[in-house]
Amino acid sequence: MEKRDIIVIGASAGGLNALRRLFGAMPKDCAPTVFVVMHITASARSVLPQLLDRIGWLPAFHPTDGEPIRWGHIHVAPPDHHLTVHRDRVLIRRGPRENRTRPAVDPLFRSAAAAFGGRVVGVVLSGGLDDGASGLRAIRRCGGVGVVQDPHDAEWPGMPQCAIDRGEADHILPLEPMAALLSRLAAEPAPPSPPVPFDIATEARIAEQEFTTMSEDTQAVGKPTTLSCPECGGGLSEIRDGPALRFRCHVGHAYSPDTMEAAQAEAMEKALWVALRTHEERVEMFRRLGDHARERGQDLTAANWDSQMQEARKSAELLRTVLSKPGIGNSSSPNTR
């Protein structure tokens, strides 16, 4: 009989310490198959497998695309690549960013839910914003279990708190007791898995970068909106995901509520800085035009240029005031990454 022996884990800020504590507390005779996504800078060289190896629980490594699953090992997503799973292998793909990051937690969770159903235990650890909450919902819809770090135990409570707020946590507890829970769950028989919902299977396929069907898939799981993707400018579709709304563009970029807010705030700040630069360039242009007109004895023309220079200067000062206010360019959500 199959057991709940597939554990998928998502973490971001504060995740390394959380993984160390959790894996360090795991019983040595517990050997599930583990998949880990931790947000990491795309250009960084990840030594996470080596760090997890030193803990001495299970061997950890970066898998390659198409590699068979290594049962009883820890599979760690490499930088700038999504980690997704099939029944017998892993996929390492540079698919569309989700929640402004690659690797992202939600693609791993959805793919595991589609591949293994009731065998999956999803775990959300320390991190900001809300990556992982949608994926945890997918796991539970496919018969799996959702486990969330107690926000009071997390260095960054955002990710755990979002999963809890959206009702996707079957268990909420600190890391040391969590180890005992995971050991117990991994030894339990897995329940029968329900049919994989269409939307979960479809979004799992998008993360694998199957471009031939991506636009059709996005339209199949969402409703078109007038909003545009902060990353590529494409049209966004609205996806109703239980109590939350999510957004995905036609090439696959996806946003949870908090990351959409953060992305729009960042785009707004960028636009304001571009406007400030443009007005300051106009101040300089009008000054030069006014000086040139005065040199030629065209005083009325010079006065006109001077007037426009003052208007541009006022606009620049107004933009500087706006940009100096707290919160401009930062998400107002308390669950910051």
Contact 256, 130 (CB under 8 A): yes
Query: Average pLDDT, stretch 83-87?
Result: 95
* pLDDT for 252: 87
* pLDDT for 329: 61
Average pLDDT, the chain: 92
Lowest mean per-residue pLDDT among 31-45, 204-218, 271-285, 315-329: 204-218
List all residues 6 or more positions away from 328 whose beta carbon is below 8 Å from its beta carbon: 265, 268, 269, 272, 322
* pLDDT for 44: 80
Residue 311: pLDDT above 90? yes
Residue 333: pLDDT above 70? no
Confidence of residue 208 (pLDDT cuts 50, 70, 90): confident
* pLDDT tens, residue by residue, 153-165: 999 999 999 999 9
* pLDDT for 127: 97
Residues facing 254 on adjacent strands: 98, 248
Which residue in 5, 12, 130, 253 is the catalytic one? 12
The listed CATH number (3.30.70.250, 3.40.50.180, 3.40.50.2000, 3.30.70.20) that belongs to domain 6-187: 3.40.50.180
DSSP string, 53-74: HHHTSS-EE---TTPBP-TTSE
* pLDDT for 154: 98
Query: Average pLDDT, stretch 238-264?
Result: 89
Pair type for strands 120-124 and 145-149: parallel
List all residues 6 or more positions away from 28 whose beta carbon is below 8 Å from its beta carbon: 56, 57
Contact 111, 87 (CB under 8 A): no
Residue 138: pLDDT above 50? yes
* pLDDT for 210: 47
Q: What are phi and psi of 88, to 5 degrees?
A: -125, 0
* pLDDT tens, residue by residue, 108-131: 999 999 999 999 999 999 999 999
Query: Average pLDDT, stretch 31-37?
Result: 98
Confidence of residue 327 (pLDDT cuts 50, 70, 90): low
82 is catalytic: no
Lowest mean per-residue pLDDT among 75-84, 137-146, 228-237: 228-237
Of residues 240 and 58, more confidently modeled: 58
Q: Which of 172, 260, 250, 171 is nearest to 218 (CA)?
A: 250
39 is catalytic: yes
Tokens encoding 56: 């001495």
Of residues 220 and 177, more confidently modeled: 177
Helix (H) or strand (E) holding 239: strand 235-241
Confidence of residue 212 (pLDDT cuts 50, 70, 90): very low
* pLDDT for 251: 85
Domain boundaries, the chain: 6-187, 258-323
Confidence of residue 266 (pLDDT cuts 50, 70, 90): confident
Contact 237, 251 (CB under 8 A): no
pTM as predicted:
0.84
Residue 57: pLDDT above 90? yes
Q: pLDDT > 90: what percent of the chain?
A: 76
Which residue in 130, 131, 150, 241 is the catalytic one? 131
**Residue type (1 letter), 238:** E
131 is catalytic: yes
* pLDDT for 336: 45
Of residues 53 and 244, more confidently modeled: 53
List all residues 6 or more positions away from 289 whose beta carbon is below 8 Å from its beta carbon: 305
Query: Average pLDDT, stretch 34-46?
Result: 91
Secondary structure letter of residue 197 according to DSSP:
P
Which residue in 5, 39, 256, 333 is the catalytic one? 39
Q: What residue spans of the chain are helical by DSSP H?
A: 15-25, 48-55, 105-116, 133-141, 158-165, 175-187, 198-207, 214-221, 257-295, 299-323
Query: Average pLDDT, stretch 225-244?
Result: 90
Q: Which of 248, 255, 240 is nearest to 217 (CA)?
A: 248
* pLDDT for 216: 66
Residue 247: pLDDT above 50? yes
* pLDDT for 95: 87
